[in-house]
Structures are given as structure tokens and as C-alpha cells.
Amino acid sequence: MTNKRLYHIGFGKDDLGASPPTIALLSGDLDRAYLIAQNYLQDVRLLSQNRGLNSYLGYLPNNRPILSATSGMGAPSLSIVVNELVQVGIRQIIRIGTCGSIQPHIPVGSIVISSAALCRQGAANEIAPVEYPASADPFLTVALVKSAQELEFEHYLGITASVDTFYEGQERTDSANPYLMRSLRGITEEYRRLNILNYEMECGTLFKMAGVYKFAAAAVCGVVAHRTVDEGIVLEQKEIAVEHAIATAVHAALLI
């Protein structure tokens, strides 16, 4: 049943051609997936535009086939996309995202490469127990670090806090709900003292899925907020941070 098209991603194995890709670059933002496909890949073909989960098939400069796919925002959406990508033969996934730094020495505009995640996500708990490690693949992670070094991008390697909500879960009070539960008050400082580098919303579940499903996963995020200074996104630095995260991931895909 290789011609089966998966319900959410909108394509199946037969749509990937005679030499199907085994690696995917996964972005939460559909515009970022398009940007990667158009600016970094060759001979790009649109695979699907389904439910906002756009996917593109292209080739790296070494002629290796690769997907640029959209996961949507948050772990529940990502868990669906990743499950279906694995069904069509993907065995390596690099998440390219954005994040907020919670350490004073990590500036907006830099990138964070996640070695592992403190996973506070409901979707992950339905895939593996809370105690199950959320660890990035060491070989993909080393490739990302080597890539950032070769491209001379400011980068940091460490543990990420992966949470389910952008506002409450990341201790933001400048929102429709300024009243945080007691369990979340002071959580950022607690994480800072645990040497956690950043907040984001997907890689903990991705890493747990990788362990359970037996594929390799890694993550690189552009820093777009500095939570030791302000809760907001620094739009002036977002473009460069995202550009560096993308370039790092694409170059890493050439190294593995």
C-alpha cells in the first residue's frame, strides 16, 4: 500500500519518487518551510498544501533528496506530522524553530542547539512516560554544532525547556491571563539555575518520539526573545536568527 496518502500531511510514499528522502527539515511556520524550499534547496516540488501543513521535496547541493515540511505550532500538531513522516520513510528530522533565551549570556539573534529537553508536554506523555528521556540524537547534534562553527554563527549547546503554552507555560504575564498558577510563578528563574538555556514548544515531544519510533532527531532554534530582559519578541533580530538556524540545519544535512 505504498500509494496510501496520509490524512494530515497529504502525501504518501509513491509521491516521493524513485529515490525517496530519508531526512526532513521540520518548521512550525509554513512560511519558513517555503523559505527553506525556495532559497536553500534545488529542483523543488510542492508535495502538498493540506490543513496548513505544507510540504516540499527538494535536493541538497550534493543531490541528496530532502523534505521541507511544516509541523504547525506546538507538540500535538508536531506529533501527528512526525508520526506520518516516519510512515513514509523519514528517518532523520531536524527541527528548525524559534525560541526565547532564559540565560543572560545568550543574546537575541544567536542560535541554540538542543542537546536534550526538559519535557513538560501532554502529547509526549501519551507517547512515553514522564521519566522517558527527551534526548537529541548525538550525531545529528554534533553535525549542527560543526555546521554552526564552520558558518561562524554565534551558537549555544544545551538543555531546552519544552512546554505546551507560549504564555502561561513560559511564565508570561503580559497577556489575557496575568494570573499564573502558583506552580508556574518563578519557574523561569528555577530553570535558569538548572542551566536550561531556552524555552520552545516542540522539541521535547520530538525527542521522545525519536526514541520510541527509532529515528534520529535534533533541533536548532533562532533566539528571538531575551527573557532576562523582556517578555516580547525582538522583531528586528528575528530574521537573522531564523536565517542562521536554517543555514545551520541545511549545512548539517550535508555533513551527515
**What fold does the segment set 13-255 form as a domain?**
Rossmann fold (3.40.50)
Confidence of residue 3 (pLDDT cuts 50, 70, 90): low
Per-residue cell: 1: 500500500
- pLDDT greater than 80 at residue 60: yes
Residue 196's closest CA among 159, 170, 141?
A: 159
Task: List the domain boundaries for the chain.
Answer: 13-255
Distance CA 234, CA 183 (A): 27
The per-residue pLDDT for range 118-150, each reduced to its tens digit, is: 999 999 999 999 999 999 999 999 999 999 999
Give me the catalytic one of 32, 84, 120, 244. 84
Question: Is 193 noted as a catalytic residue in this protein?
Answer: no
Q: Tell me which DSSP letter residue 103 carries.
A: S
> What cell numbers appear for 229 in the block?
530582559
Which residue from 197, 172, 170, 211 is spatially nearest to 74, judged by alpha carbons?
170
Residue of 5, 8, 45, 91 with catalytic role: 8
Q: Which of 95, 155, 172, 251 is catalytic?
A: 172
pLDDT band for 1, please (50, 70, 90 cuts): very low
Pick from 193, 231, 236, 205: which is nearest to 95 by CA?
205
**Phi, psi of 222, rounded to the nearest 5 degrees:** -80, 135
236 catalytic per annotation: no
Task: Give tens-digit pLDDT for 8-39.
Answer: 999 999 999 999 999 999 999 999 999 999 99
Which residue is catalytic, options 95, 120, 227, 251? 227
